Structure 1
Amino acid sequence: MEIYLPLFPLNLVVYPNEDLNLHIFEERYRQLITECLEEGRMFGIPAFINNKLPGYGTEMSVTTLHKRYEDGRMDIKSKGLRVFRIARFENPSPGKLYAGGQVEVVETEPEMGDHLDELTVKLVRLYHLLQLKSEIDDESPLLSFRVAHKIGLSVEEEYELLTMETENKRQQFLIRHLNRVLPVVSEMERTKDRIKMNGHFKNLDPLKF
């Protein structure tokens, strides 16, 4: 299915169901967000990576206008809806200050994935090593999108994940990443423990020769 969206390129990746707070200050994007608020329209955030628009992005809804400043700037809260591919890009959109484009919506089924248990175990281990609170809810679908920003992926890797059309592929991608990261994090924690021991009195067992 193709639709036309106002486009707001950013150097980041947004996933479906993700909340994103934005400070709107450029005139072209003040126009874009004002129209979305007044007309109940959606807009798109295509990822802008390495000074390029590689093509994928996420359709967004403005959920809250937190503040409108006297000079026209705005603080808003938005939410990711659906992934899309850009079919035709226009800059600017006809008669507007901002860019727009014809986009093809990528339908994402709410599947649990076949690797959920393995991924969850590795995520719990990572959060334990980093002493972070785990908020994993393995009863909800599309776990990959909900944890992708929290496991140390580069923006290029986050974008690659966005382009994958099944939860199985995304889970396998994250598991491969965690398999590389976990040994490094574990060794760092052991090193920190050894450093903490330096300068402390040690109760050592006598050696027998």
Structure 2
Amino acid sequence: MIVVHHLNESRSQRILWLLEELQAPYEIVFYQRDARTGLAPVELREIHPLGKSPVITEGDRVIAESGAIIDYIIRRHGEGRLQPDPSSELYDEYVQWLHYAEGSAILPLVMKTLTLRVGKVLAPLGRQADSEVALHLGFINEKLAGRDFLLGDELTAADVQMSFVGELAGAVIDRGAYPNIEAWRRRFQARPAYQAALARGGPSRLAQ
């Protein structure tokens, strides 16, 4: 059985959501951030040397990194669900979204979050962050035009992987500026499996 090593207020929430969508059995081991520093506890390093979350274990396998975890779960437990046919062109777009989430899209939003916290100290970085946030959110917003989800009318694991981008964006920018992203965020957060993951994993400030 899959064990999710789940850190509160972290990207591991989307792994719980994916498992709920698939109705795959799983267990959770809970970890709490340090109340002062916000960092993950050292106990996570006993599971994986980087001490980060998400990380899952299944038998003697230890898988880290959200994209790799999602790929592993879909291949071994998805039974063809939540992904396009691997022989289709749509599958190539699906894989791009899996990598884009952590490879390009999230960094500008993290930069924006940091500049909001420290203000004038990082003003030049803030201007660069604003430019990059606009670039990436504009791209995502355009791709979602006329679609319920990233690849069309049906949810895929690409939406699960990209969900953190949409949620963090909603926390640091004017949600009305990107209406397609906002509608998509509300749509996936309303799904029963998403709500079930919150019930099991605990509340998240971004799930609002």
Kindly indicate which of the two structures has a greater share of residues assigned to strand: 1
Kindly indicate which of the two structures has a greater share of residues assigned to helix: 2
Same fold, judged at TM 0.5 (above):
no
Give the number of the structure with larger relative contact order, counting CA–CA contacts within 8 Å between residues 6 or more apart.
2
TM-score (norm: length of structure 2)? 0.22
Structure with larger Rg: 1
